[in-house]
């Protein structure tokens, strides 16, 4: 019995380590995007939808994100209801929720640290209903360290499934439970 408990404990530690590595990679990707000169120019621009600036920022987001797994969509929100995004899958966004002070409160309090939520705590929904893991953080101006935007990286649920994929067998299975759903 002790062997089984130790084995299960070690398996859970391995799964946790796998997830930590994946989220560290996502954290690195978000930093690369947030510090990209084209993205910063987009966030600092007070013009109304300057096509060149928007396209340069979107291209930078694509160029960076294509090197990473599990990315479903990435959104960058300015402070005043303007945003850009890229997407591999059709994702609906509730802009009223994203720009509500209640939704932004925890994100702003984290001061740049990541907030991880299923479906962005209701702000995002994949068209075909499969849940998303949203990694959300404030983007601070490099010079002033004041918030100039928010980045949301929506990840496919496969990031969770693959964290324990190598550890399942005929007699051992794993699931994640969040928001009343089993993954």
Is 63 domain-assigned? yes
Q: How many Å apart are CA 79 and CA 86, to the nearest integer?
A: 18
* Cα–Cα nearest to 26, from 152, 158, 183: 152
Print the domain residue range for 22. 2-163
pLDDT at 169 over 60: no
Average pLDDT value for the chain:
79
DSSP string computed for 58-79: HHHHHHHHTTSSSEEEEEEEET
CA distances in angstroms from 74 to 11, 36, 65, 94, listed in the order given:
32, 14, 9, 14
CB 183 within 8 A of CB 157: yes
Count of the separate structural domains present in the chain = 1
CA dihedral 62, 155, 113, 52 (to 10 degrees): 20
pTM of this prediction exceeds 0.85: no
pLDDT tens-digit readout, 124-139: 888 777 888 899 999 9
pLDDT tens-digit readout, 23-80: 688 888 899 999 999 999 999 988 766 689 999 999 999 999 888 888 889 999 998 7
Is 171 domain-assigned? no
CATH of the domain at 67: 3.30.450.20
């Amino acid at each position: 019995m002790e062997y089984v408990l130790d084995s299960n404990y070690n398996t859970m530690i391995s799964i946790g380590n796998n997830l930590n590595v994946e989220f560290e990679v996502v954290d690195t990707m978000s930093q690369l995007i947030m510090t990209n000169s084209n993205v910063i120019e987009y966030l600092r621009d007070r013009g109304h939808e300057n096509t060149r600036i928007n396209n340069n920022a979107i291209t930078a987001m694509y160029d960076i994100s294509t090197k990473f797994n599990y990315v479903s969509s990435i959104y960058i929100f300015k402070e005043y209801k303007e945003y850009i995004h890229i997407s591999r899958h059709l994702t609906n966004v509730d802009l009223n929720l994203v720009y509500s002070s209640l939704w932004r409160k925890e994100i702003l309090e984290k001061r740049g640290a990541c907030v991880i939520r299923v479906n962005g705590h209701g702000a995002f929904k994949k068209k075909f209903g499969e849940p998303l893991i949203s990694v959300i953080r404030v983007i601070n101006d490099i010079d002033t360290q004041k918030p100039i935007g928010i980045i949301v990286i929506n990840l496919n649920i496969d990031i969770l499934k693959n964290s324990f994929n190598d550890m399942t067998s005929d007699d051992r299975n794993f699931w994640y439970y969040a928001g009343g759903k089993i993954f």
